[in-house]
Chain A
């Protein structure tokens, strides 16, 4: 394992897509690069571990994505979910994404060819073969091969700043305090979603119920250090991408498999056994992102999805088998709910279904309930009945440091840091201050990371 040097040209903080791409880009231009990652080596890869695909602009069909996805369409998609994003940086991100596939391939990363695997083709995103951990492991191998120094178990926790210059970075490396000086520093780390205290400041006591979907080392200490050093922030620390996850999953690091996409096929009841939201209101693939807020507002931040056997088979397979029973009242007992209330809720729901067009069940809705289910109101009648316990699960926060188009971190006083750059989720809120689009996280990491690495190399005269 590498020793932490006292000095380097380019110090990259963070071991996910952003940090790795920054380190490789800077090293390929000849800079001496040290990458420090808070995670221990077996947890390396940041939240790219949990990523699967990334969004890229392309002019014509290629081996990895059909059709085309012009820069204008990329920017328009992003503007639709986040109208308050920075247009210049969005344009930069879109243009830079166009060369991401060949660039990552040149670093050894393997992408999934069109028609391989079982996922539906995507015109807008390209899939890593084997997922994000395989990609990150390949990038680590490449970074090491070209001579970047990789240091694990090193949390950046403080900055020594003079004027607009970062002089040194304070680290905790394997439990020991350490300092490293660098000519230029790239913050390629994440936000603060795995920092329970900070979440409590943002979300109140309800934060204790939130599952952190990604790795547990995203504590935001560098983000806090940059704020303390006068960095300007963007987004809102009380806003996050929060979805419904299976409450039986781990509190941290559940990743993709604990998300529950079955809600449109059934109903959701709170701990009193009553429905509280329209399960059919938004059935697009991102519907489950709406349920984060609803669960945070529900009593005890807890709820159950209730389905019948037909509903279970309409939904995708789940990491944990559903809790099953042959009658609704038995299911209620299994869940610790009042059997009478749950039976009444299900019966009322079934009676309220209006099957307007019998051939189009996706258009069925209920009438006279409060709230109604406005689409996909299939009856819940086919035993065994099934339930999934739901908790809110946070993916990332819409909060970070503001950067200029050279990716230098901006200061509250209107100036910018001369030698502090940021890339990846710690600055994602510049382009994504709210909402989400599939595959955007890795693109923000890889595209801005590569740009930051190139800019850092230029900064040190390479």
Chain B
């Protein structure tokens, strides 16, 4: 579909919705279109990212296909959302990644693993190591640290730049006091995934069984990744301040956090994949679903390779697994501004605008 067609279809759908509003308690999208007569491109991008794709409105919709109106708001907004990731990506060439997201994830992952493998010491790769600093005999510490910094800082800058560009496009007219007052609510809505619930009824993966499992699995995945991140930071502190080199014993805090994080991440990602496989495909868009699967697969691979590395770190497979794991982590960071993970800051930006607009006095209801 062309950009014009995508935007025209979203506007058609939103017009029907604003004339109906039966779903107004489902999420923040409906209050945001109440009384709205016209939609700018920025409005469409805002509403598309405010939608959490819970699909509750699709299943509740009396105008959904086969009705002549063929109303499918989640699908229309998913297309606009995908488009907004590409349009607001900075530097702009990153935007092209979203057209072939599955392929990009695969290629970047392979390239990242190859890059780590090239940095590894071929002599140390296939031998058994033990004791402090054994990982660094495979991939030298200086290379690992430089690589980690470059791989995280550059993509994070690009991600922040993209999100800031999107925010500038959608930011509402408000005083800075109004903006900052609304931020805690926006952060709360984002962290709790408040709108991934179809207004308490649960996510509409399937019409006959809306459930809160999608929110739960997402929380598990994000929580698991947070534990992994904490584990990595802690390990860096151990090394930097205590001069205590990895690998750490099983009973240590970094390893404990890593195991818990890895397991939770695996449960979360596999849960989300399972829900996606069972879900009704009608209110989705194939491109975005492929992007979701690719990113879920990558995250699950990071967690699985990390756990495997831990289990087999005393064997001759350690070198290979370390290269694989570091390569997958590298890919995850490189893909931050060019894959599914951009949804996090974009959605936060949309939730922020929504929180600012809802903090204003409501329009008087007609008598």
Contacts and interface: CB of A to CB of B under 8 A. Distances in A.
A116 B200 CA distance: 11
Contacts of A127: 25
Contacts of A258: 19
Judged by DSSP, the binding face of A is loop
B278 interface: no
Contacts of B59: 134, 137
A313 B37 contact: yes
Interface stretch (A85-93, A155-163, A179-187, A318-326): A318-326
A120 B365 contact: yes
B25 A113 contact: yes
B15 A131 contact: no
B168 interface: no
A50 B61 CA distance: 9
Residue with the highest number of chain A CB atoms closer than 10 Å, among B18, B62, B69: B62
A219 B296 CA distance: 50
A371 interface: no
Given A313-B37, A318-B15, A133 B20 contact: no
B207 interface: yes
A359 interface: no
A117 B31 contact: yes
Contact of A118 (B16, B21, B198, B208): B21
A116 B199 contact: yes
In the A-B complex, the 3 residue pairs with the smallest Cβ-Cβ separation, listed nearest first, are A131-B22, A120-B365, A130-B60
Interface string A134-146: 1001000100000
A192 B245 CA distance: 82
Contacts of B201: 110, 129-130, 134
23 contacts: A110-B201, A117-B21, A117-B25, A118-B31, A119-B21, A129-B26, A129-B199, A130-B23, A132-B22, A132-B62, A133-B61, A134-B201, A137-B60, A137-B208, A141-B208, A253-B67, A255-B62, A256-B19, A258-B19, A312-B37, A317-B19, A317-B33, A318-B19
Interface of B: 15-16, 18-26, 30-31, 33-37, 56-57, 59-63, 66-69, 198-201, 207-208, 362, 365-367
Contact of B68 (A117, A137, A253, A285): A253
Contacts of B56: 130
A52 B207 contact: no
Contacts of A105: none
Given A130-B57, A130-B60, A257-B20, A118 B366 contact: no
A49 interface: yes
A255 B37 contact: no
B20 A134 contact: no
Contact of A131 (B34, B35, B62, B200): B62
A63 to B, nearest CB: 12
A205 interface: no
A202 interface: no
Given A129-B26, A130-B199, A320 B61 contact: no
Contact of A317 (B23, B25, B35, B63): B35
B62 A133 contact: yes
Contact of A117 (B24, B60, B198, B207): B24
Given A118-B24, A313-B37, A255 B208 contact: no
Contact of A257 (B16, B66, B208, B367): B16
A139 to B, nearest CB: 12
A299 interface: no
A260 to B, nearest CB: 10
B19 A319 contact: yes
A35 to B, nearest CB: 17
Interface string A86-124: 000000000000000000000000101100111110000
Contacts of A405: none
Contact of A116 (B21, B25, B69): B25
B22 A256 contact: yes
Contacts of A317: 15, 18-19, 33, 35-37
Given A257-B19, A317-B33, A319-B16, 9 more contacts: A117-B21, A120-B365, A129-B200, A134-B59, A137-B207, A256-B19, A257-B20, A317-B36, A320-B15
B26 A130 contact: yes
Interface in A3-44: 42-43
A316 B35 contact: yes
Contacts of B69: 250, 257
Given A130-B56, A257-B16, A317-B15, A52 B22 contact: yes
Nearest to A319: B19
B63 A255 contact: yes
Residue with the highest number of chain B CB atoms closer than 10 Å, among A120, A285, A317: A317
Interface string A317-338: 1111100000000000000000
A434 B25 CA distance: 32
Contacts of A43: 66
Interface in A253-274: 253, 255-258
A117 B63 contact: no
